[in-house]
Amino acid sequence: MQKDLFLKLIDTDRLIFGISEVCKMAGVTPRQLRYWEQKGYIKARESDGNKAREYDAQTMIKALFIKHFLDEGYTLGIAVKKIQKHMDNMQVVRSIIREHFEGIEEIDGEMAVNLGYFDETKQQTLYAIVKDGHSTFKLVPANK
């Protein structure tokens, strides 16, 4: 139950933003967003034609990064290439979380993220423990 609820909370595919919200967050104009969309760098969600443009969280993040790299002096084409690597990395992290997050538990008096079985024989469970802003890992016998 805890796993399902957590995965719903971090499911960014369900976060939808209107064009005005994306413009405010990214610090760009609607004209810029439409241009990026025309060039194929970002994509609006499918709509019935009567609605204002809407964007998913991935596209919003992409717009933020594009603007960041433009502000650093990169061209639009280079900014988009740079962002793709970051987007690919984020997808890897999302996959790991979706696949391995089992819940949050208390281990030895500390809150720990259960990342599931560490070994194929399912003898050990891997936990990530965050304390004072730093994380460590701990292996615990699975029957504990």
Phi, psi angles (nearest 5°) of residue 67: -60, -40
Helix (H) or strand (E) run with residue 54 in it: strand 54-56
- Name the pLDDT band for 96 (thresholds 50, 70, 90): confident
Range in 23-32, 68-77, 134-143 with the lowest mean pLDDT:
134-143
- Name the pLDDT band for 130 (thresholds 50, 70, 90): confident
**Tens digits of residue pLDDT in 5-61:** 766 666 667 788 999 999 999 999 999 999 999 999 999 987 766 678 899 988 999
Buried b (16+ CB within 10 A) or exposed e, 32-64: bbeebbeeebbebeeeeeeeebbbbebbbbbbb
Using CA of residue 34, residue 40, residue 44, residue 50, what is the dihedral sign? positive
Residue (of 72, 75, 76) closest to 33 by Cα position: 76
List of domains in the chain: 12-99 (1.10.1660.10), 102-141 (no CATH)
- Asked whether residue 1 carries a pLDDT value surpassing 60, the answer given is no
Amino acid residing at 101: F
Instruction: Say if pTM beats, i.e. exceeds, 0.75.
Output: no
What share of the chain has pLDDT > 70, as a percent? 89
Category of 115 on φ-ψ map: left (φ > 0), alpha (ψ -120 to 50) or beta: alpha
Judge contact between 18 and 51, C-beta under 8 A: no
